[in-house]
Structure 1
């Protein structure tokens, strides 16, 4: 075992060890010709070794895993998230911890920056990790890109009892801190952001959805509450907070353990260890090929940002989203889009339409259908994905370079200028403009000779054209029921049960399509609601197999934006 980043001087054997000596990265296993990095990050009151170690001294990261996964380098990160300590406590916020973690990881990986990464996160270590990946995602393509290397190389994450949506028992821990402050150092800097329904955690999750688009996850949850004197200060993370409902790239698994023992395994015969090892091995086996594909795409985007030619495949125009076979016509919204984008007379401002609403409402499908019906009204339709700044810039650049060889060195700024100048009667379709911090103004042409259609979950985007905003909510009851019956391929005598189902699903097209696919497969209309309520997360993760379906937005936003 070697300290990866030894910056501190050695102490004499007689001098007490400081907690500072256990901060930073520790290389637990170097691996034999490693093909992946497994990176562990602890949580509240945690330690880079003790968190993963049983009372009998078995550290599974050191004593069990290396022999089972010899081709993995195993790193563990230590940082100060003690809420009380006799020596000292950190004043760092979640954001500062995340920034420190991301930069430390980048330094550790300088000799192999593109090696695939699998993260293992316990407790709020998962929150720090999510925020760190958001920081990596926000780095510009044309910057030095070290932090983006981390995001692109991330293949999978194992979350153990991470309170994605906060903890109900935080007030108790704050009380403990107040009592402990009489005889030791305490802080509530982190605790205040971990309260149930915390705005900070909601913001982190909203930003993380975009950053984690290509990352697979496992949510390991505890079966038992922490109890006993030795665990009196341990938190219990309920299932609904330890999982993210509707995350299509994630699998929730309950381990037979309390919160503390979620990450402590005494031997390879432990049932919990066997479960964790099974999923870790699957990630290790698939990571090299999956991450290599991600790097091909990333290299194209980076080349585009630097003005270099990219592959012929990327040079073709970005295709528009595919219209679902189960598309539900919504005449009033369709009429309003036409009124906004194709006015009877040209005014002083560019026609713009902004479709905004919660995830799963069908905004992209509405826009795609409208474009298909009115395509002849435009000389060209430019499609861009605004789920991230880098993707938006890459798609704009792709749009102008697709015009011909003479445009092969053009940038996204040239694309905007081209629409503002030479071209007329164009339609710019900006899809998935969801990130709260993304400023679209530099990317939107101002010319009145074209039109812009935007879909977004972020209601702040209404400011780009207040007179062009259209809210997209749930379907009408008859539309929702018809969609359910079509997706399920059923014609029940009564609509009563169907109405109850669509109301439970918030009248949202995406959720109803998923429900219909499940009912069609199981022929279980009468028992669907009972099954849904019992296995809600599993059902919302299933993607319908009926032809080409709705673009699958993360259903978590449907839950939390409503």
Structure 2
């Protein structure tokens, strides 16, 4: 008599056989994809496809290389036209996402389908006719599909042929799919590189590099260096010709892909020097900088690699890197520790190991005991024995695989990564490709001329979250920021209204906003000066000296400075407002296709300077700035903040003035934030103080900051203490109030 397991196995086999027979018997016509030439007008359909719950969501993305029959420069192929043509050709095809980018001699498209089975499964090349809005109306194209994504794939290109864009070059892990590695686990048709990033950075070109690294059958001669050679070759091809060849590069590497990037940059030959000039940042995700043990490497790849690859990557019991990894440590520190921004992300959870099924496919182990921490924090962030990266970031609840997989645009892990990418790209744009020699020349000149490096004042904090939105959304500000033409803007307000915090926020806001704009072919420059951060010994001419140095830090303006500019740093240091303004105006007008934003904060705190001609230096500076920016209002934007009742400022800027009001909503958020910093207040006292501050008519940010600072001096303030502080500090604070309460480190510079 058969045992129970045998009977169960037999019954299961019969059920599977019957199910298979039924599926084959009722197999609908869409399972046989037809790729006949267009002339036959063949249409493929799969209207009878079973619902998703039956088949499961087997999402897959295909790459299509598209060659138009006419020359590419006469081609008018659009994403919408391609989508319509594909849907007409393959009736019922379930295309969820499609991207299309133009390359020098062809187009590159990615097509994400909801189901694994598709008309592209056979990789057969086919012809397609596309309806266009231009001439010719019908465009004939040849389409070559594949799903391996080897070599370079353009996922997005908002930079086009412009030189001021940024190339984000992505290299996945060894034996990982170039597209699939970055897909959402919730929706396999979404990829954050293709579908999320372009919304934030429309001037970006996103390239992902795929290299042949299958699990089995690897050749002994394959190595990190051989993969790096292929990457360098692909980069050369896709950055051929000006201005693309001078475009900035930000690298993104996952796991062993990060080592390939580092090797590609560290050759020491001519190509490497070109890369070094262009490279501005490196985002590394779980990169094993110090190597991997045999167990970790086998768990990552599913097998123990042979030959050179193992020699490159494996570390022994002493945990010391050898050969290639040791060399990479040294070259990375030498080349990039000064001018190269890096952010290194590391995982926090164990990763299931890879296991091979009987049919040869691979899967992650489901047994939690078969999980290991593949790349811990130290190997992911330590270079040459010490952390040299600008920043190390822990992505919570991620393992080695999910470190680069985000479910939605609102995924908290993606928001962290997005913020770091934004910082690196913003800094890259500000650097604007100055070479090491140019930067050294500029720094030496600046030091001799005794011009301080411009930085946002540290004592002016960032605003409290969700404040200042009313200003940023106001019509007068958005017209100034985005309008075809806009006159200068003078923001005036009494002490304590938050002018300096606003100015600081505006600099960052304009930087963020400029990343989203593709209107200006020569890009955007942002310069500024915070008078309240300079002490009492600076003069109006120092404002111009700083603005000129900031312009010179951009490659575009560095190259158009007057020919005699570098002759004498002392002359530059001693020059008057008139002489300096000639340099400033000359440099700005030389690049007509570039938008320039200039923010000058607390101009009222700038000394008036000498008055040899009956006009003070400050008055002369204001007059010249107002005239230059008003006459060039199509591409230049000037914003000044100050207190009111300054006669020279009012004389030249009154027609451009806007009163800064204290928004009640912002003030309440500021009060709540300041009270959170007072642990000495109990719940009752906190509520009482909050009600008094909110209800005070005419209250300002400065007044709230001083009141809460005074209350913080008490161990546990009583109602009498609270009343005393509120009575002693006047709501209206002017220049007669002690300056130590208004200056650096004081309440005026607290965040609103």
TM-score category of the 2 structures, normalised to the smaller one:
0.3 to 0.5
TM-score, normalising length: structure 2: 0.35
